[in-house]
Structure 1
Amino acid sequence: MICVLIYEYLPHELARLGVVAKAAGLDHRRIAAQVCLARERAGRARTAPPEPHHLSEVFIAELRRLQWERIAGLMEKERMAAYRPSDDSRAVRYEERRLQRLMTDVAEAERSGVAAVEICRHCVYRIDARPAAGSSSPGMPAPAVHLMAASPGEAAARAWALHGRDGGLYQRSGHRIASVTQILPEPGELF
């Protein structure tokens, strides 16, 4: 039996919609503080060692920064005392597009004749590594990767399957997985 996995939320949707949810009800001062924090995070992410995948700390930080700046600009333009997602036409379109993508993905999978379609609510996890005991490369920066998975255990297993083989990122640099942290959505965002 062939089952097709379809993501309820893609990483960019989680980042954008998470900011919208977090911004709901905040005033100008709190939005401005979040813009500053988002800019600082993006700046730190740009100076971190590059990651092997497109889904990275920089990608996530930049999406969030752009969203916070967009919301701040909208509040100023519309003279909102507090941010209301229902009054943000772009935020409404984000959710409409996500639902349309989901319906299209399901319809395409069903048309292709698969036996089952499973809609997955995966999160984005950051997998950090540390030098293995007796590693010959102690000065090398510890690699980090970001992956979508259903659980922290699955994220670690996928990271090891991708990067733990001979010649992979972890083996080449003498590192082992040290921690797995849920990045998207952040606690209190979306679900």
Structure 2
Amino acid sequence: MTSANSVDPASIRERILDAAELCLVENGYNTRLHAVIAQRAGFSRPTLYKYFGDQAAIVDALFQRELTKYLAVLDPILRGREKLLEVGFVDAIVYTVIYARDHELLQKGLRDSPEIVLPWFTTRSKPIVEVATGALTPHFERLFTPEQLAKMSPRAISEWAFRIIASLITTDGIVDTADEQALRSFVKSLLSIAFLPPPDQHRDDR
């Protein structure tokens, strides 16, 4: 077993989270894993408690790390070329849903322990909303035309994107999210609805 005193704190945290990810995928979210994670990481159980706390805190830290990884990968995709706002919006949603569908740790939790994972997208979603919105907003600001900026908030568009993504990741509906073309068409249809002109308030009732 490695002495934590001989390793820098950042490396300790990463080793613990790497071990936790493997243990969760192999054993599930509801298994008591502190001893297993400690053994796999090569540290003592007190070291795990010192750096993270209980198992729930480790899972929280792991989700935060995975969100950071995702945003780092998404960033160059949205910067890849000049786009229209509508194209960037659809690309961000489609890429994220596909990324989540292929994410082993997330899918394991949604399938086997939804009571642990779903709150990240519902009752405990505020931290993720804030991080994701903060990362997406600069991209959407770059894609807005001056006319669009006068009418819409890039931050509101970013939060709307997150809420669509959360729904597509966590619930089943009419669209098959495994079919990228169908998913892209569905998101485009949502966007077309959002940009429909308002009804004519002066039209005679029929």
TM-score when scaled to structure 2? 0.27
Structure richer in strand, relative to its length:
1
Larger Rg: 2
TM-score when scaled to structure 1? 0.28
- The higher-RCO structure (CA 8 Å, 6+ apart) is 1
